[in-house]
Amino acid sequence: MSKNVVLVTGAAGGIGRSICERLVADGYSVAATDINAEGLKDLEASLGGSLKAYPADQTDLAKVEALVAQAEKDLGPIFGLVNVTGWTHATRFETETADYWDKVIAINFTSLLYVTQPILKSMIARKAGRMVFIASDAGKVGTATEAVYAGAKGAVIAFAKSIARENARHSINVNCVSPGPTETPLFAEEMKDNPQIVERMLKAIPFRRAAKPSDQAAVVSFLLSDDASYLTGQALSVSGGLTMI
Ligand X SMILES: NC(=O)c1ccc[n+]([C@@H]2O[C@H](COP(=O)([O-])OP(=O)(O)OC[C@H]3O[C@@H](n4cnc5c(N)ncnc54)[C@H](O)[C@@H]3O)[C@@H](O)[C@H]2O)c1
Q: What value, to the nearest 5°, has the Cα angle with vertex 108 and ends 210 and 48?
A: 70
153-192 residues in contact with ligand X (CB under 6 A) are: 179, 181-182, 184-187
5-64 residues in contact with ligand X (CB under 6 A) are: 10, 12-16, 34-36, 39, 57-59
Q: What is the CA radius of gyration of the chain?
A: 17
What SS3 state is found at 197?
A: helix
Cβ–Cβ contacts within 10 Å for residue 159, how many?
A: 18
Number of residues that bind ligand X (CB under 6 A): 29
Catalytic residue among 54, 100, 149, 230: 149
> Which residue lies nearer to ligand X by CB, 39 or 129?
39
What SS3 state is found at 69?
A: helix
> Which residue lies nearer to ligand X by CB, 19 or 78?
19
Among 68, 134, 219, 228, binds ligand X (CB under 6 A): 134
Terminal-to-terminal C-alpha distance of the chain: 35
**Active site includes 28?**
no
| Cα–Cα distance measured from residue 189 to residue 96, given in angstroms and rounded to the nearest whole number | 18
- What minimum distance in Å lies between the beta carbon of 111 and ligand X? 6
Amino acid at 102: D
Contact track, ligand X, 68-107, x by CB under 6 A: ----------------xxxxx------------------x
- The neighbouring-strand residues paired with 33 are 9
- What minimum distance in Å lies between the beta carbon of 2 and ligand X? 26
- In the bound state, the residue with its beta carbon closest to ligand X is 13
* Sequence-ordered list of residues with C-beta below 8 angstroms from that of 97, at least 6 positions apart, any chain: none
- What minimum distance in Å lies between the beta carbon of 211 and ligand X? 7
Among 29, 81, 109, 136, binds ligand X (CB under 6 A): 136
Contact track, ligand X, 204-223, x by CB under 6 A: --------------------
| Cα–Cα distance measured from residue 39 to residue 41, given in angstroms and rounded to the nearest whole number | 5
Query: What separation in angstroms does the CA of 26 have from each of 19, 198, 218, 237?
Result: 10, 33, 10, 22
103 φ, ψ (degrees, to nearest 5): -65, -45
- What minimum distance in Å lies between the beta carbon of 78 and ligand X? 17
Catalytic positions are 149
Summarize as ranges the residues that interact with ligand X (CB under 6 A).
Answer: 10, 12-16, 34-36, 39, 57-59, 84-88, 107, 111, 134, 136, 179, 181-182, 184-187
